[in-house]
Amino acid sequence: MMEKTAKIKLFLLFSAVAVAVGILAKVYMSATSPSSVKLTVYKLELMTGASDTNPQVFFSNAAGLEIDLAKGMNAVIRQAQIPAGTYKRIRMTVTNGIKLSVANAGDNPCGGAAFTDRVVPIAGDGTDPNSQVQINFAAYDDKGGTWRGSQITHLMLGDVTVSENQGTRVKLRFNTADTLFCSSGAVEMRAPWSVSVLPGTL
């Protein structure tokens, strides 16, 4: 039986949105917002769920594509044929080292001066910032927003539905507002907390 596929066009809408304001600030009273969050993306995959053994690759770049999650942009980076269905998980393969910047000294949660492209490892202190790591975003019913040991599955606000004979446009919006905080004198980041999936037709 031939598998039914449909076109999917991926848009990445990177912006610091107000959704995170007040959420993180309640947990970290000194939470501030970065002016730049640079991340190099190598692969993006759609998965029907955590147990999916056949993820659908809709972006792959061996050299990596550097993006800034805090800058407003709306760029088409990939069109692909994806099997029709409902996808509850997005898996990103990215560089371990995020480059953080704060434009004003007042946005440095630890005090002190502003800084540019400070490298903070996603996998924690002592890990290789040039290595590749995977970040998972999942719907609530696929364990999105949960922790298992040190493994975090970030929350994906909405499923990705790919319909037969109909092009699907997917926008990913990452929250970067109020995601910096100070821990033992070092700037750390809790971001992105979640990703909003904004579907639409081509």
Give the pLDDT confidence of 62-109 residue by residue, as tens digits.
Answer: 999 888 888 755 454 566 777 888 889 888 899 999 999 999 999 999
Q: What is the largest CA-CA distance in the chain?
A: 63
Average pLDDT, stretch 171-186? 80
- pLDDT-derived band at 22 (thresholds 50, 70, 90) equals very low
Number of domains in the chain: 1
Q: Which domain holds residue 150?
A: 5-201
pLDDT given for residue 63 in this prediction: 93
Say which range, 19-28, 30-39, 51-60, 180-189, has the weakest mean pLDDT: 19-28
